[in-house]
Amino acid sequence: MAPLSYPIVPRLLYGALLCLALPLLAAHLLYRSLRQPAYRRYFGERLGLYRASSLRPIWLHAASLGEVQAAAPLLAALRAAHPEAPMLVTCQTPAGRQAAESLALADCTVAYLPFDAGVSVRAFLRRFRPRIALVLETEIWPTLFLQVRRAGIPLLVLNARITERSLRRYRRLGIFRHALAMPDAVLCQSASDAERFRAAGARADAVSVGGNLKWDRPSPVAPAGAAWPQSPVWMAASTHPDEEPAVLAVHQAVLRAFPDALLLWAPRHVERFEPVAQALAQAGMALRRRSRHGAPEADTRVFLVDTLGELAGFMPRSDLVFVGGSLQAIGGHNVLEPAGFGLPVLVGPHTAHFSDSVAALQAAGGLLQVADAEGLARQVLALLGDPARRAVMGHANAECVAASRGALEKTKALVAQRLVGVG
Length of the chain: 423
Confidence of residue 199 (pLDDT cuts 50, 70, 90): very high
CA torsion sign for 73, 78, 83, 87 is negative
> In the predicted model, what is the mean pLDDT of the chain?
92
Mean pLDDT of 142-166: 94
Give the residue numbers annotated as catalytic, written as ranges: 67
The pLDDT-based confidence of 225 (bands split at 50, 70, 90) is low
C-alpha count within 13 angstroms, C-beta hemisphere, residue 345: 36
Is it the case that residue 228 has pLDDT exceeding 60?
yes
Q: Over 60: is that where the pLDDT of 255 sits?
A: yes
pLDDT of residue 417: 92
Which tens digits make up the pLDDT trace of 237-249?
999 999 999 999 9
Alpha helix segments (H runs only) across 46-117: 65-81, 94-102
pLDDT of 174 above 90 = no
Dump strand ranges (E) for 252-392.
262-267, 287-289, 302-304, 320-323, 345-347, 367-369
How far, in Å, CA of 327 to CA of 250, rounded? 13
Residue 398 has pLDDT above 80, yes or no: yes
pLDDT at 327: 97
Res 308: pLDDT:
82
DSSP string, 123-161: HHHHHH--SEEEEETT---HHHHHHHHHTT--EEEEEE-
Residue 325 has pLDDT above 80, yes or no: yes
Query: How does 42-68 read in b/e, with b if 16+ C-beta sit within 10 Å?
Result: beebbbbebeeebeebbbbbbbbbbbb
Is residue 86 within 8 A of residue 65, CB to CB? The reply is no
- Nearest CA to 351 among 382, 324, 390, 383? 324
pLDDT at 222: 57
Convert the pLDDT of each residue in 329-366 to its tens digit: 999 999 999 999 999 999 999 998 888 899 999 999 99
Task: Sort 5 into a burial class: Cβ within 10 Å, 0-12 / 13-18 / 19+.
Answer: exposed
Q: Is residue 221's pLDDT more than 80?
A: no
pLDDT at 38: 87
Omega of the bond leading into 83 within 30 degrees of 0 (cis):
no
Name residue 225's amino acid: G
What does residue 267 show for φ and ψ, rounded to 5 degrees? -60, 150
Tell me the average pLDDT across 59-77. Answer: 92
pLDDT tens across 19-37, in order? 888 899 889 888 888 888 8
